[in-house]
Amino acid sequence: MIVTLTPNPSLDRTIELAGPLARGEVQRAVLAHHEPGGKGVNICRALEASGLRSLAILPGDENDPVLVALRSQGIPHLGLPIGAALRSNVAITEPDGTTTKVNEPGPALTDAQQLALVELVLDQARGASWLVLAGSLPPGVPADFYAMLIRKVRDRFGADAPRVAVDSSGAPLAAAAAAAPDLLKPNAEELAELTGRFDADTLEANPQLTVRAARTLIGAGAGAVLATLGARGAVLVTAEGSWLAQTPPITAVSTVGAGDSALAGFLLSNNAGASPANCLRQAAAHGAAAASLPGSTVPALNQTHPSAVLVTALDEHSMTLNPKEDDQ
C-alpha cells in the first residue's frame, strides 16, 4: 500500500491547440478534457492503473468535482471536508508538446483543518510501504508543513514508519529536504533552486553536474534523489551510487503529470523489490509514456517500455559515464 497526501489538489483541465499558442489572439481548441489532479492524486492514478494498491488523501468535500471524478474512476481516496471548492488548473498544449500551465492558488486551510489533515494521514499511514507528500501547499499552510509531518510520522511509528517521498518545490521542498526524507523527486529547476548548484539548463544538459547537486542533498540526510530532466532522462543518486536513465526519442503530446508518473514508476518497481537501477528504469519509462499521452492522462504499466530505457552507472570519481551499461 502506498499512501499519498495532496494538500492542494485540483481539477486539471487540458486544452489542446491545433497550432502554436498566440498571445492576445482568439484560438479554437481541438480537444479539451479534465482529470482529478495534484501530484499525489496523479501518482495514485498511475499506481492504480498499474495494479498497485494506493490511497489518495486530500482536502475536499464529497460533492467537489475532484472527489466526484476520483469516485467515478475508482481511485481509492479519503477527503477531508473543508466547505470550500477546490481549485482548477489549466494546461494549454501545442502540437510540439509545449505546455503552458495556469495554476490557481487553491482554498485556504484553517489551523484546525491542517491538524485534521495531519491526523488523517497518521491514521492511514500505519502499514504503508511509502508515504508520498506531494505538490504545492495551499494558502494558510506554513512552508514547513511537510517537514513537520515527516517528524510526526516517524515519532508515531518509529522503526515501522513508512518510507517518505517528497515531490514539491520552493520553500516547502527546502524545509522537507532538511527533515531527511527517504526520497526527494525534484526536476532540474527545483534541484537548481534547492541546492544553489548550477542552473536548470546546465543540470539538464549535464548528468554529472546533476549528480553533484543531488549529492549535497544526500550529504544533508536525504536517502535518495530522483531528478527528472525532461527529454534528457532522469538521474538517481543514493548513498551507494548514481545512475542515468535515457529513453528513446518520443513525440511529446503533453508533459503535464509526466514527473508524477515517473515517481509512480519508481515506487512500483521499488515496491516489487527491484534494484535502484531498475527502479530508475521504470521511472523513466513511466515518465516517457505519460509525455506521449494527451493532457494529464497517466500510463498503465503495460503502456510503458522499460526494456527500451538505457540505464548507465555514473563513475563519480572521474565524473564520466561508465561505458558498461547497468545490468537489465
| Close Cβ partners of 272 (under 8 Å, ≥ 6 residues apart) | none
Of 200, 188, 13, 20, which Cα lies nearest the Cα of 97? 20
Q: Are 43 and 53 in contact (CB under 8 A)?
A: no
What's the rounded Cα separation, in Å, for the pair 184 and 191?
10
Q: Are 263 and 224 in contact (CB under 8 A)?
A: no
DSSP string, 70-125: HHHHT--EEEE--SSPPEEEEEEE-TTS-EEEEE-------HHHHHHHHHHHHHHH
Inter-axis angle of helices 258-271 and 276-291, to 10 degrees?
A: 150
Of 182, 172, 79, 176, which Cα lies nearest the Cα of 129? 182
Q: Is 260 a catalytic residue?
A: yes
12, 64, 144, 260: the catalytic one is 260
Grid coordinates representing 17 are: 491547440
Q: Are 138 and 107 in contact (CB under 8 A)?
A: yes
CA dist list (Å): 274 to 36, 115, 160, 282: 30, 36, 21, 10
Catalytic residues: 260
